[in-house]
Chain A
Amino acid sequence: MIGFWRKIYAKNDNVKAYTLLSPALILIILAMVVPMALMLSFSMFTQVNMMEIDYTFTFQRYIDFFQKNLLVTLLIKSIKISFLVTLITLITAYPVCYYIAFYVKKNKMLWLVLLTLPFWTSYLLRVFSWKIILGTKGVINSSLINAGILSEPLTFLMYSETAVVITLTHAWAAFALLPLYVSLEKIDFSFIEAGRDLGLSRFEVFWKITFPLSLPGVIGAILIIFIPTVGDYVTPALLGGTDGRMLSNMIQAYFGKINNIPLGAASATIMLTTVILITIIVSNVTKRLTQRLT
């Protein structure tokens, strides 16, 4: 019996490939495909009352979503917050990676490890620590008041969109650092020297050579930050207050307190579709822009 299988295994490359892939495949099917399918089907049902769901197929939930101003506003706000987070992360992480890739000669790994050090603690812990920094009696406010610069604490720091943007930016920075670093590290320094040799200033060389060549990393970083932050609900729940609430908090409520699973599922599906569309658009636009640059 074992001999039989061994023969098949040895002869057929497809069998070999699927055997090796099977643990991952099974996991993905169970943990991704099945829940997604469930979510899609639930988005087409109707919640009759607290306990009962009507299982006839309908697109009414999607229409409901767009008729509720709150949901549309929250969707837009989620996208806006993620967009800001992505932008700020890129602007701050890019120079750091550039420095490590081109100017640090020894112990590059140490730099990367130090930069990602905060990410060794739990996500929740980091969110709470921002509470200590940004709160009304937090580090920033109390030192500004003690220094006599302010008489009243800054209220926009805490329980606001600002708080959510700051916290998410910090939380996801490490994920931007790595793809950016890898793509910059791969750029041969002689390309930059060649650019200078061919008469371009440092600034021009950056925009015409370095940036276009690091584009895979930039797009990677955009996707890696944008996709998870749109759906984040821990940070807005803990630091967002009413101002910093995002669509994911509402989705959570639909599955919980409000108990309208179909509408929650429809909102989640809409968010998923929007994120996919946006990422496609963003990566295409970035590529186009760079082509125009060069």
Chain B
Amino acid sequence: MNNSFIQINNISKHFADVKAVDDVSFEIKEGEFFSLLGPSGCGKTTLLRLLAGFEYPTSGNLLIDGIDITALPPDKRPTNMVFQNYAIFPHLNVEKNIKFGLRKLGLSHDEIGNRVKDVLKLVKLEGYEERFSNQLSGGQRQRVALARALVRQPKVLLLDEPLGALDKKLRDEMQLELRTLQKNIGITFVFVTHDQQEAISMSDRVAVMNDGKIQQLSAPNELYKNPKNIFVSDFIGETNFLKAETKSSDGGFTNVSIEELGEFKIKNNLNIAANSSDVVCSVRPESMMISKVKSDWDICLDAKIRQTSYLGEMTRFYVEVKGIDKTITVSSQHFDNQSFENNECFISISLEDISLLNKK
């Protein structure tokens, strides 16, 4: 397997004075399901369009399978795209839409027929050959778009938020299906989404983007467990932030004073400087507990509950801790849903699960 199948070298793309993509470099492995994740306007779609050839970079270069494609037009690139709105040609039926991309490949009539048949089977759309775009449901259109791109057997398939237009249930189904499909055909997928759950559940690796830059590139579980900065920690899943200040450093650990709670020894994976007030501690909801009785966890605090709102798998508490109002989110399974006497409760945190992050 080629570890640098797609090479993105110092790519920048500026629109007037907006830096949509700002000096980004990374590599994508062959056969990988790779996601670009970020809020709208973070540059993820621009980066995808740069790969497709719809935009050309202001600086930097792009290589796919060792070939420099930076200056190639879209029709000369070994990529195909599934568009956000699917872009199914409305004047052609499903079969002709799929055949559309084959006409320039110099295939025999039989081979074209076979490829169309195979790809229709792959996306489970046999029997829909004669339908037009307006006679298809959202999910079916998505399959046609997928088939039309895959039938050309590209080296890289680019997907621009392809599940965004589907309803929740269908989206979950398609996530699983896309993942299975990708494993079966082994083509490299570059998937753009703003939905962190989608990116995390489908991808081998995820690049989280913001302000035109890669914030973190790693496997999904790493993103959640070891976020590199406050943006990633906040963007991926729920989290609780606690104001903090680093004191002295001691190997992989740092003494940190967390607002009003006291000083603790916390592991410092990110080489955060000592004596800095520009830091924050992040605690995931499942690493916090709210209980009626005192626990033996590393940190256990008295608190008063002002209000609760139940969010399903999580519950949000508006509490007062040592005179300060705080909002904390806790896994619903981590507190007994009994009524608290006089709203008195204990908040417990395990030190192991606190990540220390730079504010910027």
Contact between A197 and B80 (Cβ–Cβ < 8 Å)? Answer: yes
Q: Which residues of A contact B73 (CB under 8 A)?
A: 196
- Report the stretch among A4-12, A34-42, A185-193, A231-239 that lies at the interface: A185-193
Contacts of A193 in B (CB 8 A): 52, 54, 74, 81, 83, 87
**Contacts A191-B87, A195-B100 known; 15 new A-B pairs at CB < 8 A:** A190-B83, A190-B84, A193-B54, A193-B87, A194-B87, A196-B54, A197-B79, A198-B101, A198-B148, A198-B152, A199-B101, A199-B104, A200-B104, A213-B90, A294-B92
B91 contacts A213, CB within 8 Å? yes
**What is the 8 Å Cβ interface bit string for chain A, positions 278-294, against chain B (1 contact, 0 not)?**
00000000000000001
- Complex Cα distance A194/B100, Å? 10
Cβ contacts under 8 Å, A196 to chain B? 53-54, 73-75
B contact set with A: CB distance below 8 Å: 52-54, 73-75, 79-81, 83-85, 87, 89-92, 96, 100-101, 103-105, 148-149, 152
Closest beta carbon of chain A to B323's beta carbon, Å: 54
Chain B contact surface mostly: loop
Give, as a whole number of angstroms, the nearest-CB distance from A212 to chain B. 5
Whole-angstrom distance between the alpha carbons of A188 and B90 in the complex?
11
Q: Does A270 contact B (CB under 8 A)?
A: no
> 5 pairs across A/B with beta carbons < 8 Å?
A188-B87, A190-B84, A198-B75, A199-B101, A213-B90
Contact A194 B92, beta carbon cutoff 8 Å = no
Known A-B contacts A199-B104, A294-B96; A194 and B91 likewise in contact (beta carbons under 8 Å): no
Query: Chain B residues near A188 (CB, 8 Å)?
Result: 85, 87
A198 and chain B: residue at smallest CB distance = B101
Q: How far is the CB of B107 from chain A (nearest CB, A)?
A: 12
Nearest CB of B to A106, in Å:
12
Question: Given the complex of chains A and B, what is the CA–CA distance between A85 and B25 in angstroms?
Answer: 56
Given the complex, which residues of B lie within 8 Å of A49, measured CB to CB?
A: none
Instruction: Answer whether residue A209 sits at the interface, using C-beta atoms and an 8 A cutoff.
Output: yes
Q: How far is the CA of A196 from the CA of B101 in the complex (A)?
A: 9
Assembled-state Cα–Cα distance A200/B100 (Å): 9
Taking the closest CB of chain B, its distance from the CB of A286, in whole angstroms, is 13
**Shortest Cβ gap from B88 to chain A (Å):** 8
Cα–Cα, bound, A294→B54 (Å): 23
A69 CB–B CB distance under 8 Å: no
Collect the chain A residues with CB atoms within 8 Å of residue B80's CB. 197-198
Residues of B within 8 Å of A208, CB to CB, are: 100
On whether the beta carbons of B100 and A198 are closer than 8 Å, the reply is yes
Residues on B with C-beta less than 8 A from A200 are 75, 103-104
Given the complex of chains A and B, what is the CA–CA distance between A241 and B259 in angstroms?
A: 96
Residue A56 at the B interface, CB < 8 A?
Answer: no
Cβ of A201 under 8 Å from chain B: yes
Give the interface centre of A188, A197, A201, A294 by most chain B CB atoms within 10 Å.
Answer: A197
Do A197 and B52 form a contact, CB below 8 Å, given A188-B85, A190-B83, A294-B96? yes
Checking B75, B85, B103 against A197 with a beta-carbon cut-off of 8 angstroms, the contacting residue is B75
B87 touches A190 (CB 8 A): yes
Those of A169-204 within 8 Å (CB) of chain B: 188, 190-191, 193-201
- Decide: A194 and B83 in contact? CB cutoff 8 A: yes
Closest to A201 in B: B75
Given the complex, which residues of A lie within 8 Å of B53, measured CB to CB? Answer: 196-197
Query: Distance in Å from the Cβ of A228 to the closest Cβ of chain B?
Result: 29
Most buried by A among B53, B81, B89: B89
